[in-house]
Amino acid sequence: MQIDLNGKVAIVTGAGRGIGREIALTLASEGVVTVVTDVNEANLEAIKNEFERLGYQGSQYRCDVRDFHRIQEVVEAVVQTYGHLDILVNNAGVAGGGPVSSLQEEVWDLNLDINLKGTFQMCKAVIPVMKRQKSGRIINAASFAAIVPSYGSAAYASSKAGVSQFTRVLAGELGPWNITVNCYAPGMIPTEMNHFAERPEKEQERLLDTLTLRRWGSKREVANLVCFLASDLAEYITGTMIDVSGGKLATQIPKIAYEKAGVENNE
Ligand SMILES: NC(=O)c1ccc[n+]([C@@H]2O[C@H](COP(=O)([O-])OP(=O)(O)OC[C@H]3O[C@@H](n4cnc5c(N)ncnc54)[C@H](O)[C@@H]3O)[C@@H](O)[C@H]2O)c1
């Protein structure tokens, strides 16, 4: 069994760095014409150079997912240039927080505007294209926080729970056009968003204790799931959220298995 994505066209939002960058590079390595969008111009320039170095096909656009006018321009340019648009990955996101009692309105708005409204706006712009084609894949970044939130994450977790429910609603609306809509829930993937792997050792241990596989996830492991969801292998999957968290809290105290086995982790 092989994943065949050759010749597909994808947009990946927020792909200048982190998981989105890895998703873009992984899709492109599978022959996908990959359009990278982000707000950070320096990171767009860097991934442009990386695409050129690796001989990958695609293009880069500065695009804020809060700006519907700009989103429409980019989607139109993509369709004009490549003729079709098969995959949209709504990866762009921010994580800000604090306990509700002191949470600033601006932080709440930023999380909701980028993570949830940004996803909605991107979908709204590509839906007419995918309907015309009678095919399409929309893949949204939710988070484990949409399943079990952590302290001080009201803004972020609410936005990601919104992404999860939005995904199901949209899947229901787009079934007649053979467009699937799914989301994925990463657990703890060290990136510049969270610096998990640079935290004090004790804190890292406490976080790792929540994971059945007791190690951080890699950006590549998330990108692999996105490739699967974008491929024909996943054509009968829609309206779902897939947890890619190494079994975070899959059992009540995952650490017990490691104590019984007499090992620190599974590496
Ligand atoms: N890293 C994790 O452990 C983890 C866990 C759960 C969910 N996620 C989700 O995965 C996605 C990627 O996370 P990451 O860890 O790579 O984060 P990151 O901060 O490294 O990357 C986020 C990217 O989004 C871009 N971005 C921010 N605001 C934007 C906007 N308004 N318009 C367009 N682009 C914008 C940033 O410039 C950046 O390139 C996010 O949606 C995040 O919530 C990550």
Ligand 1 pocket residue status of 38, Cβ below 6 Å: yes
- The phi-psi region of residue 229 (left if phi > 0; otherwise alpha if psi is between -120 and 50; otherwise beta) is alpha
Tokens 């657990």 locate to: 187
Q: Distance between CA atoms of 17 and 192, rounded to whole angstroms?
A: 8
DSSP secondary-structure letter at 248? B
pLDDT of residue 265: 72
Q: Distance between CA atoms of 189 and 13, rounded to whole angstroms?
A: 18
DSSP secondary-structure letter at 99? -
CA dihedral for 56, 57, 63, 65, sign (positive or negative): negative
Atom of ligand 1 at shortest range from CA of 189: 3
Q: How far is the CA of 191 from the centre of ligand 1 (A)?
A: 9
Q: Give the tens place of pLDDT for each residue, 96-115.
A: 899 999 999 999 999 999 99
Q: How far is the CA of 257 from the centre of ligand 1 (A)?
A: 32
Ligand 1 pocket residue status of 194, Cβ below 6 Å: yes
29: helix, coil or strand?
Answer: helix
DSSP secondary-structure letter at 112? I
Q: How far is the CA of 17 from the centre of ligand 1 (A)?
A: 8
- Provide the residue ranges of all domains of the chain, joining segments of one domain with +: 9-200+216-246
pLDDT tier, 162 (very low <50, low <70, confident <90, very high otherwise) = very high
State the catalytic residue, choosing from 156, 184, 236, 258: 156
Ligand 1 pocket residue status of 186, Cβ below 6 Å: yes
- E strands of the chain, at which residues? 9-13, 33-38, 58-62, 87-90, 136-141, 179-186, 241-244
Q: Whose Cα sits closest to atom 43 in ligand 1?
A: 93
pLDDT tier, 248 (very low <50, low <70, confident <90, very high otherwise) = very high
Mean pLDDT, rounded, for 224-237 = 98
Contact between residue 150 and residue 207 where contact means Cβ atoms under 8 Å apart:
no
Residue 147, number of CB atoms within 10 A of its CB: 18
Q: How far is the CA of 38 from the centre of ligand 1 (A)?
A: 10
pLDDT of residue 242: 98
Ligand 1 pocket residue status of 164, Cβ below 6 Å: no
Q: Using CB atoms within 10 A of its CB, is residue 256 exposed (0-12), middle (13-18) or buried (19+)?
A: exposed
Atom of ligand 1 at shortest range from CA of 217: 3
Tokens 């065949």 locate to: 4
**254 pLDDT more than 90:** yes
Q: Distance between CA atoms of 141 and 219, rounded to whole angstroms?
A: 13
Pick the CATH number of 9-200+216-246 from 3.30.499.10, 3.30.1960.10, 3.10.290.10, 3.40.50.720: 3.40.50.720
Q: Whose Cα sits closest to atom 25 in ligand 1?
A: 14
Atom of ligand 1 at shortest range from CA of 188: 3
Q: Whose Cα sits closest to atom 20 in ligand 1?
A: 18
Q: Give the tens place of pLDDT for each residue, 27-71.
A: 999 999 999 999 999 999 999 999 999 999 999 999 999 999 999
What are 242's strand-pairing partners?
A: 184
pLDDT of residue 217: 98
- E strands of 131-228, at which residues? 136-141, 179-186
Ligand 1 pocket residue status of 193, Cβ below 6 Å: yes
Q: How far is the CA of 72 from the centre of ligand 1 (A)?
A: 21
Ligand 1 pocket residue status of 192, Cβ below 6 Å: yes
Q: Distance between CA atoms of 92 and 206, rounded to whole angstroms?
A: 28
Ligand 1 pocket residue status of 21, Cβ below 6 Å: no
Mean of per-residue pLDDT scores for the chain? 97
Angle, alpha carbons 210-214-218 (nearest 5°): 110
Contact between residue 225 and residue 168 where contact means Cβ atoms under 8 Å apart:
no
Among 146, 143, 142, 155, smallest CA distance to 98 is for 155
**266 pLDDT more than 90:** no
184 annotated active-site: no
Those residues with Cβ within 8 angstroms of residue 221's Cβ, 6 or more apart along the chain or in another chain: 189, 244
pLDDT tier, 263 (very low <50, low <70, confident <90, very high otherwise) = confident
Contact between residue 130 and residue 136 where contact means Cβ atoms under 8 Å apart:
yes
Mean pLDDT, rounded, for 196-223 = 97
**219 pLDDT more than 80:** yes
Those residues with Cβ within 8 angstroms of residue 67's Cβ, 6 or more apart along the chain or in another chain: none
